Every structure is written in structure tokens, then in C-alpha cells.
Structure 1
Amino acid sequence: MKYAFNIVGVSPVLDFFNHQQKSSVSGQPQGIEYLGAPDCTLDAFLETVESVPTKESWEMDEVVKTVIDFWMNNSESIRYWKLRLLDAGRDNLIVTRVAEIQALQAEFDMLFQK
């Protein structure tokens, strides 16, 4: 199975928490997880990914590899988001998304149909 990992943005901790609560009630699409980390580092990203309750169909070694590949191949983007997180100040998180490619494609298809 293939996975995608990307940085979505920076969010205040409380806003991210509220979003996660609403998503758990309204039902977040299967195969997609939004994660928040207090630091923009590879270790922080790996910790957030490894803290996700194990999905039955997810191959966690592949998910971790996807995060590492993102880190190795996107230095400019990472530098940009590190600065945005620093600019935002304390009580903010860097928000990332990890998803099965098929689930992400289905979500995009649904958005374009609306």
C-alpha cells in the first residue's frame, strides 16, 4: 500500500484540538489522519505518526518510510514551515496529514464533485 505525507500548516493548539474532536464525531474519512506536532523535526513527525492507533490495513513501516522520504526530499518546504511555526509563537502546532493514497484520491474526488 502507498501513503502520502505532507505538511498542512500551522494551527493554535486549541483550534487543532477542536478540529480533531469534530472530526471524531462527524467521522473523518477512513485512511486519512491529521496530526499535530509541537516541533518541525523528523523526530516529532515520527512520534506523531507512531502515536496513531494502529490501523488494521496500515503498514506502519511503510508509513514511517514515507515520512522519512518526505523529510529527505523537501528541505525547502520544511525550512519554510519551521519559520512559520516559529513566527506563530508558543501554543501552536505544525499540522501534518498522513493518508493512504487511495483514500486521499477519494477525498479529492468527492471535493471536486461538490
Structure 2
Amino acid sequence: MSYSFEILGVSPVLQFFSHQQEILYHKSQTGVEYLGSYKCTLDALIESVETVSPERDWNLDQALKTVIDYWMHNVDRIDYWKRRLNDAGAENLIISRLADFKALQAELDLLFDR
């Protein structure tokens, strides 16, 4: 399985929590996982990936490799998001998305009504 990882932005903690609860309420298992972290560090992002439910049956090592590769090849983006998180203050999270490619394609197709 191939994975995609991207930092999406900064969000207030309560807004992210509300989004996650809505996903649980609708029992949406799309193969896309939205992750939140108080820190924009590689260790913090790895920790957030390790919280993904084993029910997803993802290859954790491969998912972690995807995050590490993103970190190593996107220094400018990471610096940008570190600054945005710092500017936003302590009640905010850095939000990222980890997905298997097929599920991400399906979600994007749904958004664009293909």
C-alpha cells in the first residue's frame, strides 16, 4: 500500500476535536486519517501517526517512512508551518493528513462529484 502525507494547516484544538467527532459520528472510514499535534517536529508527527487505529490494517513502517520522507524533502514547507503554529499560540494544533493513495483518490473524487 502506498501512502500520502501532507501538512494541511493550523487549527484551534476544539475545532479539530469537533471535526474528529463528526467523522466518528458518521462512521467515516475512508482510509484518510487527519492527525493533530501541538508541535511541528518530526518526533511529534511520528507520534501522531503511531496513534492511528490498528483496525486500518496499514503498514505502519511504510506509513512512517512516508512521513519521514516528507519531512526530509519539504524543509521550506515545514519551516513555514512551524512559524504559523508558533504565531497561532498554544491552543492550536498542526494538522496533517495521512492516507493511502486509493482512499485519497476516492475522497477527492467524491469532493469533485465525479
TM-score interval for Structure 1 and Structure 2 normalised by the shorter chain: over 0.9
How many residues align? The count is: 114
CA RMSD of aligned residues (A): 1.2
Partner of 2:58: 58
Show the counterpart of 1:21. 21
Structure 2 counterpart SS, 1:76: helix
User: For the residues of structure 1 that align with 2:13 and 2:32, how far apart are their CA atoms?
Assistant: 20
What percent of counterpart residues are identical? Answer: 54
Following TM superposition, the consecutive aligned residue runs of length 4 or more in structure 1 with deviations greater than 4 angstroms are none
- Could you tell me which residue of structure 1 aligns to residue 68 of structure 2? 68
Secondary structure of the structure 2 residue equivalent to 1:105: helix
Q: Which amino acid aligns with 2:27?
A: G
Say whether the 8 Å CA contact 1:32–1:104 is kept in structure 2: yes
Structure 2: where are the runs of 5+ without partners?
Answer: none
* 1:1-114 alignment, distance < 5 Å: 1-113=1-113
What is the deviation of 1:67? 0.3
Distance of 2:56 and 2:81 partners within structure 1? 31
> How many angstroms apart in 2 are the aligned matches of 1:93 and 1:70?
19
1:28 Cα deviation from its structure 2 partner:
2.6
TM-score calculated relative to the size of structure 2: 0.95
- Please give the TM-score of this superposition, normalised by the length of structure 1: 0.95
Could you tell me which amino acid in structure 2 is paired with residue 31 of structure 1?
G
Unpaired segments ≥5 residues, structure 1? none
